[in-house]
Amino acid sequence: MARAGDLSPEEFREAAARVAEWVADYRDRVEEFPVLARVSPGETAAMLPSSAPEDAEPLEAILDDLDRIILPGLTHWNHPGFLAYFASSSSAAGILAEFVVATLGVNAMLWRTSPAATELEARVIVWFRELLGLPEAFEGVILDTASTSSFTALLAAREAAGVDSRELGLTGRSDVPRLVVYVSNQAHSSLEKAAIAAGLGRQSLRRIETDDRYALDGQALERQLRSDLEAGALPTMVCATIGTTSSNAVDPVARIADICAEAGVWLHVDAAYAGPAAMLPEKRELFGGWDRADSIVVNPHKWMATPMDCSVLLFRDRRPFRASLALTPEYLSSDQEGALDLMDVGLALGRRFRSLKLWFLFRQMGAAGLRALLRRHLRLAADFADEMRRDSRFELAAPVPFGTICFRAHPREAANEGGRVSNELEAYNDWNRELMARVNRRGPVFLSHTVLDGRYTLRLAIGSVHTEARHVEAAYRILCEEHDEMAGAGGSAIGEERMTTV
């Protein structure tokens, strides 16, 4: 008897070969699509049936609709022109590993439910830790995203703060001082979400001021810590960032580690994006002091060619993590001595076999291949930054320690006068906003923005395994074309709609 509803072995074999073809075809033709989707809200939904089909449909019908309905409505994260946010790109190794992961379907919650998955996870973390130049004291787990990793670290820090939140909670008690978390005003929003989720609240998140390189000001941190201690608060965690999302700023981690050591506060390092660069000796100095952190997050699914999701949370001491969350109900108990149950670190019980992705990746690219990838990106970023310095139409808006370039175009008036900075902040911001919208409408590249010192700033972030020199060059060319077009079209070009074809 065939398995009710599922494909027979023969049908599956044929279907898998067919999808393998579709996948290879998609990779070959991805540049035919605009990176940023051109649909309007509701446009995709209007093409989808209002109810689930009653009867099974053939694979070809699904693949046809994938081509007809889904692809035109997607922003293509694996397009080599994806230069927005931080890319999350899928190497061959990552895609093939995910195919195997889904087939095995292993839940790596307990050692006994997944001995090889549990031990492979521990081992690839050792490999990664070693490549990153971190001391042996660090072990870790793989979680889904940096948001989850930083939240998990905050729960451990909260437990380590000694108010017995696990047993007693934080409510209905008069003996719990205000627990406070410290980040720079450039830190990622996930830290704010973590503080909210953990019951600390937004007002207990201290956004410490930054210097002219957007790096946390150590003195300001010390002042705030002192003032909070005087007010009776309990500093719970400091999060330093190496490579902020906004501008890739690098907080002075060594200095912050000193401050944390003296105050006895948990130090978490968010290197979700930039972490892999620690594999390069020439970049290692930017990571000075991170080896003294209590916890570190690095996301292979950002700058390391691994498909979403894969976030590595490293830590020195498993105990506060277990103390904050480990629970073993009877139906999950096993008598396995000496085994490690990964469900004990983290909120989610079910855990995908993500280590297989890193295993495939490390082996199919080799450490040398990964370093070559990072160096290619760094070179492309340096080249683009040079253009921004050289070209009087543009200016660099922040240092470029990694693969992300923050820049602005000078508005028409300024451009005509050789790059003089306009005094009208709003006109300046509008000009750059419009420039970005025009560039993104063109199709071959997708940039995003941030705001630095109140000024609208374009970001070009290089991190996709697919991005080559020609894509970054295309971005520069399109930026120049659109900028000149805006300048030539007169002042009223700002905010004007114009259809562009690729």
- Secondary structure (3-state) at 414: helix
By C-beta, is 30 or 475 nearer to its own copies? 30
Number of Cβ atoms within 10 Å of the Cβ of 234: 17
By C-beta, is 304 or 475 nearer to its own copies? 304
- Secondary structure (3-state) at 327: coil
E strand or H helix at 125, and its extent?
helix 115-131
Q: What's the one-letter identity of residue 71?
A: L
By C-beta, is 136 or 212 nearer to its own copies? 136
Least Å distance, CB 501 to its own copies, is 20
Residue 77 DSSP label = T
Least Å distance, CB 488 to its own copies, is 25
The owner of tokens 């210097």 is: 211
Q: Which residues pair with 142 in a beta bridge?
A: 312
Least Å distance, CB 425 to its own copies, is 15
Number of Cβ atoms within 10 Å of the Cβ of 138: 20
Strands 179-184 and 234-241: parallel
By C-beta, is 356 or 487 nearer to its own copies? 356
By C-beta, is 23 or 480 nearer to its own copies? 23
Residue 206 DSSP label = E
By C-beta, is 20 or 261 nearer to its own copies? 20
Smallest CA-to-CA distance from 35 within 463, 477, 443, 339 is with 443
By C-beta, is 93 or 293 nearer to its own copies? 93
CA distance 102 to 117: 13
- Secondary structure (3-state) at 385: helix
By C-beta, is 234 or 427 nearer to its own copies? 234
Residue 428 Cα distances to 125, 321, 424, 433, angstroms: 46, 48, 6, 9
Least Å distance, CB 254 to its own copies, is 27
Least Å distance, CB 1 to its own copies, is 7
**Burial category of 350 from C-beta neighbours within 10 Å (exposed 0-12, middle 13-18, buried 19 and up):** exposed
- Secondary structure (3-state) at 484: helix
Least Å distance, CB 413 to its own copies, is 25
By C-beta, is 71 or 263 nearer to its own copies? 71
Least Å distance, CB 436 to its own copies, is 11
By C-beta, is 201 or 288 nearer to its own copies? 201
Smallest CA-to-CA distance from 125 within 343, 372, 357 is with 357
Number of Cβ atoms within 10 Å of the Cβ of 40: 9
Q: In this structure, what are the phi and psi dihedrals at residue 207, rounded to the nearest 5 degrees? A: -95, 95
Asked whether 214 and 188 are in contact (CB, 8 A), the reply is: no
Q: Which residues pair with 268 in a beta bridge?
A: 239, 295
Least Å distance, CB 186 to its own copies, is 10
Residue 161 Cα distances to 127, 147, 502, angstroms: 31, 21, 56
By C-beta, is 93 or 487 nearer to its own copies? 93
Least Å distance, CB 435 to its own copies, is 15
Least Å distance, CB 416 to its own copies, is 28
By C-beta, is 42 or 418 nearer to its own copies? 42
Least Å distance, CB 245 to its own copies, is 6
Q: Which residues pair with 208 in a beta bridge?
A: 184
Q: Which residues pair with 180 in a beta bridge?
A: 235
Least Å distance, CB 193 to its own copies, is 6
What is the spatial order of strands in the sheet that 205-208 belongs to? 139-143, 311-315, 295-298, 266-270, 234-241, 179-184, 205-208
Q: In sequence order, which residues have a C-beta less than 8 Å from that of residue 23 and are 6 or more positions away?
A: 95
**Burial category of 249 from C-beta neighbours within 10 Å (exposed 0-12, middle 13-18, buried 19 and up):** buried
Least Å distance, CB 391 to its own copies, is 24
CA distance 253 to 77: 32
By C-beta, is 385 or 404 nearer to its own copies? 404
